[in-house]
């Protein structure tokens, strides 16, 4: 899936190797397509717009993993699987994050700055 020429992750069809989660940190709350903890304690997150971020361990307050389901895409071999978000609200939020409008970006930046 693309948004204005850039690749974005489709929350209805993404890699079974990814672990979507919400990361609560001191600075912001981040809903990410894939979250992993590195050996040094830092948290690596791939956003729905495919950008990546690392968060230091002292800044992470909590990580909540998001429920997914595995499925076989039409036309693919039975051994090929993908996953999708189960919760409708999470799906809507992932779509909003992956394809933000300029207006939404300005609002989000102001809200973060107000913290």
SS (H, E, C) 52-90: EEEECHHHEEEEEECCEEEECCCCCCCCCCEEEECCHHH
pTM of the model: 0.73
Mean pLDDT of 62-82: 87
Query: Distance between CA atoms of 90 and 42, rounded to whole angstroms?
Result: 24
Q: ∠51-54-59 over CA atoms, to 5°?
A: 130
Q: Is the pLDDT of residue 30 over 90?
A: yes
Instruction: For residue 68, give the nearest of 85, 80, 82, 89 by alpha carbon.
Output: 85
Q: Is the pLDDT of residue 62 over 80?
A: yes
* Domains (range + CATH), the chain: 2-114 (2.30.30.100)
Mean pLDDT of 10-24: 93
Give the pLDDT confidence score for residue 15 in this predicted structure.
92
Sign of dihedral through CA atoms 43, 47, 50, 53?
A: negative
């Amino acid at each position: 899936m693309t948004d204005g020429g850039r690749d974005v992750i489709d929350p209805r069809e993404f890699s079974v190797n990814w672990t979507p989660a919400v990361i609560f940190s001191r600075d912001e709350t981040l809903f990410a397509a894939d979250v992993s903890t590195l050996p040094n304690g830092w948290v690596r997150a791939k956003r729905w717009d495919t950008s990546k971020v690392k968060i230091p361990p002292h800044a992470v307050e909590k990580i909540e993993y998001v429920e997914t389901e595995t499925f076989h895409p039409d036309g693919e071999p039975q051994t090929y699987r993908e996953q999708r978000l189960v919760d409708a609200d999470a799906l809507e939020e992932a779509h909003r994050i992956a394809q933000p409008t300029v207006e939404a970006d300005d609002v989000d930046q102001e809200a973060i700055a107000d913290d």
